[in-house]
């Protein structure tokens, strides 16, 4: 926020707020519970931070309706169903103020092919290339240094941040967002070993991003070897993610930072893959599954599974195994004592330290 806003105006954005305290105060920023000052709005979005609520110095605090803990003395209290959702409404307005949508125009340095189709109210920024036969939908924004390949399609109200790329024949639906450096339609990783060397297999398919997809910074979605690599409606892909050729993502899938999905794998609706999960090729991950960070997936995952580890196991089982692994040295020593009592001279196995 660049100026102060009366709390009584801010709460109008929220859904059925229950307010206790002075709504005439003015606020100028959003801050964490720990760092908030009397001119800040804060919120409890995660229960693990509940202990910080009583000591916050925020001018106002958004709390869940069912919060039962102590209340800070000098803060106005606003109770809502979900503080995180309500704060997102406010952040959306702040975002629009900080980064207003550019006025529709085509920058003089942009290179737009004569055969390209440009919709209404489109902004095409500096050094953008729009190639032969490309289609740019109404209200789209290409911020700058973007490359839109031959016969590519950019859907209505899509927003391409600087240096993002959409290669030939690839398609973006409505309201797609590409963060800086995202690449849609890079060649799939396909080679055959022939006459003593790796020979490239041409990748002649495309990538389709359905409506409301977001691709993070420096993430790559490979074009299909043939047919389509598909990212389903509402899916959100974080930064530094690699999606291989012919992968099929369902609706509402979340891929967190540094996930790698090998070719021809399918991931069902609303599955979630935590950071650095690696997925082998030609697998099926069921709808609604959750896979914990740094897991290595080398087999199919049933729908609605909660798995972690390499290979993935049910979450609680994987946790128990990790605990047991930590006890292996003492278990080894106990086994040695049993062998000694039984008169067994030969070691069952050797420790790395030779003992």
**Strand ranges of the sheet holding 129-130, from the earlier edge strand across to the other edge:** 111-112, 129-130, 147-148, 165-166, 183-186, 220-222, 242-243, 260-261, 278-279, 296-297
> Is 245 annotated in the active site?
yes
CA separation, residue 149 to residues 105, 154, 199, 299 (Å) = 20, 10, 25, 36
Judging by beta carbons within 10 Å of its beta carbon (0-12, 13-18, 19+), is residue 66 exposed, middle or buried? exposed
107, 245, 282, 327: the active-site residue: 245
How many Å separate Cα 203 from the centre of its chain?
27
- The C-alpha atoms of residue 159 and residue 62 are separated, in whole angstroms, by 31
* Rounded distance between C-alpha atoms, residue 116 and residue 130, angstroms: 7
Q: At what angle do helices 315-326 and 328-341 cross, to 10 degrees?
A: 60
What is the DSSP code (8-state) at residue 319? H
How do strand 214-215 and strand 177-178 relate by DSSP bridges? parallel
Within 10 Å of residue 21's Cβ, how many Cβ atoms? 17
Q: Which residues are catalytic?
A: 245
């Amino acid at each position: 926020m660049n100026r102060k806003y009366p709390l009584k105006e801010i709460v109008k954005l929220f859904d059925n707020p229950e307010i206790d305290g002075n709504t005439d105060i003015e606020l100028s920023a959003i801050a964490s519970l720990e760092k908030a000052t009397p001119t800040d709005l804060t919120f409890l979005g995660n229960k693990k931070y509940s202990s910080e609520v009583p000591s916050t110095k925020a001018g106002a605090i958004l709390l869940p309706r069912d919060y039962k803990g102590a209340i800070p003395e000098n803060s106005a209290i606003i109770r809502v169903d979900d503080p995180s959702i309500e704060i997102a409404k406010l952040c959306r307005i702040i975002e629009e103020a900080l980064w207003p949508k550019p006025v529709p125009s085509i920058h003089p340095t942009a290179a737009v092919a004569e055969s390209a189709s440009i919709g209404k109210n489109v902004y095409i920024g500096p050094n953008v290339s729009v190639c032969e036969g490309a289609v740019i939908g109404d209200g789209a924004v290409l911020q700058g240094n973007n490359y839109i390949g031959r016969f590519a399609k950019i859907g209505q109200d899509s927003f391409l941040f600087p240096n993002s790329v959409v290669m030939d024949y690839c398609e973006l639906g409505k309201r797609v967002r590409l963060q800086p450096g995202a690449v849609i339609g890079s060649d799939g990783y396909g080679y055959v070993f022939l006459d003593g060397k790796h020979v490239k297999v041409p990748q002649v398919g495309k990538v389709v991003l359905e409506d409301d997809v977001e691709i993070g910074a420096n993430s790559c979605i490979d074009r299909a070897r043939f047919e389509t690599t598909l990212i389903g409606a509402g899916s959100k892909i974080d930064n530094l993610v690699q999606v291989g050729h012919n992968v099929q993502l369902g609706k509402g899938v979340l891929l967190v930072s540094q996930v790698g999905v090998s070719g021809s794998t399918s991931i069902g609706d609303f599955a979630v893959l935590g950071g650095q999960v690696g997925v082998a090729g030609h697998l099926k991950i069921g709808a609604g599954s959750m896979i914990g960070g740094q897991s290595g997936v080398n087999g199919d995952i049933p729908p609605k599974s909660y798995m972690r580890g390499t290979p993935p196991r049910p979450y609680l089982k994987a946790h128990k195994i990790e605990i047991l692994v930590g006890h292996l040295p003492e278990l080894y020593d106990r086994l040695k004592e049993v062998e000694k009592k039984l008169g067994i001279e030969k070691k069952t196995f050797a420790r790395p330290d030779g003992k």
